[in-house]
């Protein structure tokens, strides 16, 4: 009877050990599959981020190209439409650059001085705006605070 109990214990220990080995094998396979899925997720996320940056760069480049083309079309239109002193002469390139400069100065609402040119030459943007809009640089206000 003692030997029968020992045999039963040994068989049960063997079954338990086999179950542990099977459990370890299944866990190892599961961990391998999980690692493969995580790797795939990382690769897919990285390719998505790369595609996002590529699309943003392409969109920015296309927008910049469209802006440049639009500015060129506007300059061509201005050169073709604006005539010098009611004649049929179009603006010279120098006059066109001066026109563009005055338009740029007029759009600088916050700047009082703009620096440009090869030797740095300050331009009083506020005065240029006043000159281009033909309104006085300063005006007197009676009573209430005033703005230009």
Nearest to 129 by CA among 144, 107, 99: 107
pLDDT at position 95, please?
82
Q: Which whole number is the average pLDDT over 56-71? A: 95
Please compute Rg for the chain using Cα positions: 40
Q: CA of 82: how far to CAs of 74, 76, 85, 113, 132, in Å?
A: 11, 10, 9, 28, 16
- pTM of the predicted model, to two decimals? 0.48
Residues 77, 112: Cα–Cα separation, whole Å = 30
Question: What sign does the CA torsion over 109, 114, 117, 121 have?
Answer: positive
Tens digits of per-residue pLDDT, 103-137?
Answer: 777 776 666 655 555 555 556 656 665 656 655 54
Tens digits of per-residue pLDDT, 64-111?
Answer: 999 999 988 988 888 888 776 777 788 888 888 888 887 777 776 666
Residues 147, 127: Cα–Cα separation, whole Å = 14
pLDDT at position 137, please?
47
Q: Which whole number is the average pLDDT over 41-66? A: 96
In the chain, which residue ranges form alpha helices assigned H by DSSP?
A: 2-81, 93-107, 125-133
Q: CA of 8: how far to CAs of 22, 37, 92, 119, in Å?
A: 21, 43, 110, 102
């Amino acid at each position: 009877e003692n030997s029968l109990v020992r045999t039963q214990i040994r068989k049960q220990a063997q079954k338990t050990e086999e179950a542990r080995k099977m459990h370890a094998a299944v866990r190892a396979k599961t961990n391998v599959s999980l690692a493969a899925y995580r790797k795939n997720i990382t690769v897919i996320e990285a390719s998505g981020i790369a595609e996002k940056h590529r699309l943003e760069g392409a969109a920015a480049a296309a927008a910049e190209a469209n802006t440049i083309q639009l500015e060129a079309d506007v300059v061509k239109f201005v050169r073709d439409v604006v005539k010098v002193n009611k004649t049929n002469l179009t603006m010279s390139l120098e006059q066109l650059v001066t026109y563009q400069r005055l338009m740029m100065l007029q759009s600088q609402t916050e700047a009082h001085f703009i620096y440009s040119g090869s030797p740095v030459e300050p331009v009083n943007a506020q005065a240029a705006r006043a000159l281009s809009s033909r309104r006085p640089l300063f005006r007197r206000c009676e009573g209430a605070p005033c703005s230009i």
